[in-house]
Amino acid sequence: MPIVVVSRRKSFTEEEPLKKYWEIFEETAAYFLEAIDMQAVIQVLETDPNFYQDIQIFNGKDAFMDHVNMSNKRTAELLSQWGPQMMMAGPMQKPPTFFEGVVYGGWDDETIKETDAFMAKFKPVEALYGYITKDWACKAPLPVTTSSPVIVNSRRKVKAGKMASLATDVGAIAAWYEANLPGVGVLAITAGPDSEDPDLVNDLQIFGDFQAFVDHMCGDFPWPTASFCNRHEKDCDSDKSRTCGAMLEQWMTNYNMSFPFQGEIFASKDKLPLILKATSGMGAQFVGYAFEDAHGSGPNFANAGGCAACNSLAGGCGGY
């Protein structure tokens, strides 16, 4: 099972220390994607330049342990440079600013212990439902897409007593997506209760491209390439649109929408305004980050079904 870590970390703000940090990080990220079974290592500054968002996607526990394996000479060399730089910007300051975030997927006590070594305050998410796809590029035949992925990491309030039905309803629509969405589809859809609030879930959704994001809204996204018509319009005569829409509406009944969804969306710069507009229409309050503004390597999924290696979403086909 892949492991996805999404976190917020303190940044240097002075020009020279920040420049030096990005140089070290870029070199480390490029090495990780080349030598370790990782799908993405990216960081992007927030509007507040004191902080940045960090995404790391590992194809499994072995890859996670490899990226902190100090017995590997090259890993140790790079990590001994990158690690202290991260620590000096945040956890080693007075007062300290710890890394905060969530860990999805195939984590266990050993992987969480490794994050503790960096003084990280991560929340491991016990999955209620769903999946994080590995080897997706090998599920031929898939058309080649020219669009970047869409990654949504969010916090959502669940109505009292609705956690079990949420798991059932999302499990049902996730299976429907897998069977019916054309193209790349949904690469990850999973969530689990927050450790500090049992009625809050941390939710991860990764769409292989913008088209998959459009289609998961079952025709509610008014976009010319949508695979499903809007079931609320009288000229929409599609069983798939009605089925998908009914399942989507049932899924949403489990949330307490008096508490808007909060979270982050990572996507290409040209698609972000469209995605933010669509999600705000549902009452979500998401912050958008463009891949073009990110440092690091991956996720470049624009080769879906094409040249990506079977053990990596990013493959060897480029990065940022």
Crossing angle of the two packed helices 73-89 and 15-35, in degrees rounded to 10: 150
Which residue is it, tokens 């307490």?
Answer: 256
Q: Are residues 151 and 275 in the same domain?
A: yes
Q: Of the candidates 106, 124, 142, which is a domain's last residue?
A: 124
CATH of the domain at 20: 3.30.70.100
Q: Are residues 134 and 116 in the same domain?
A: no
Q: Are residues 120 and 130 in the same domain?
A: no
Q: Of the candidates 89, 124, 159, which is a domain's last residue?
A: 124
pTM for this entry: 0.90
Q: Identify the sign of the CA torsion 301, 305, 308, 312.
A: positive
Segment holding 51, helix H or strand E: strand 51-58
Report the C-alpha gap between 84 and 66 in whole angstroms.
18
73: left (phi over 0), alpha (psi -120 to 50) or beta: alpha
Q: What is the rounded (10 degree) CA torsion for 123, 64, 212, 44?
A: 70
Q: Are residues 216 and 309 in the same domain?
A: yes
Rg of the chain over Cα atoms, rounded to whole angstroms, equals 20
Our measurement of the distance from residue 230's CA atom to the centroid of its chain's CA atoms, rounded to an integer in Å, reads 27
- Total tally of structural domains belonging to the chain: 2
Report the C-alpha gap between 131 and 128 in whole angstroms.
10
Q: Are residues 139 and 288 in the same domain?
A: yes
**If we measure between CA atoms, which residue out of 45, 68, 40, 43 comes closest to residue 56?**
40
Beta bridge partners of 42: 55, 296
For residue 267, the SS3 value is strand
Report pLDDT digits (tens) over 161-176.
999 999 999 999 999 9
- DSSP code of residue 257: T
Q: Which domain covers residue 156, as residue numbers?
A: 126-320
Q: Of the candidates 124, 155, 188, which is a domain's last residue?
A: 124
Q: Are residues 56 and 138 in the same domain?
A: no
Q: Are residues 157 and 14 in the same domain?
A: no
Beta bridge partners of 9: 52
For residue 224, the SS3 value is coil
**CA dist 90 to 23, 95, 164, Å?**
18, 9, 38
Residue partners of 300: CB distance under 8 A and separation at least 6:
148, 314, 315, 317, 318, 319, 320
Beta bridge partners of 296: 42
For residue 3, the SS3 value is strand
Q: Are residues 259 and 298 in the same domain?
A: yes
CB atoms within 10 A of CB 64: 27
pLDDT in tens, the chain (320 residues): 899 999 999 999 899 999 999 999 999 999 998 888 888 899 999 999 999 999 999 989 999 999 999 999 999 999 999 988 888 888 888 888 899 999 999 999 999 999 998 889 999 999 999 888 875 444 434 444 556 789 999 999 999 999 999 999 999 999 999 889 887 788 899 999 999 999 999 999 999 889 999 999 999 988 888 899 999 898 898 999 999 999 999 999 999 999 999 999 999 899 999 999 999 988 899 999 999 899 998 764 433 333 344 333 333 333 32
Q: Are residues 265 and 282 in the same domain?
A: yes
**Burial class, 97, CB count within 10 angstroms (exposed 0-12 / middle 13-18 / buried 19+):** middle
Q: Are residues 294 and 170 in the same domain?
A: yes
Report the C-alpha gap between 311 and 260 in whole angstroms.
36
Report the C-alpha gap between 186 and 177 in whole angstroms.
7
Crossing angle of the two packed helices 239-252 and 163-180, in degrees rounded to 10: 150
Beta bridge partners of 202: 155, 192
Q: Are residues 78 and 209 in the same domain?
A: no
Report pLDDT digits (tens) over 200-255.
999 999 998 899 999 999 999 888 888 999 998 988 989 999 999 999 999 999 99
Q: Are residues 256 and 137 in the same domain?
A: yes
Q: Note if the bond before 182 is cis, omega within 30 degrees.
A: no
Report the C-alpha gap between 202 and 258 in whole angstroms.
17
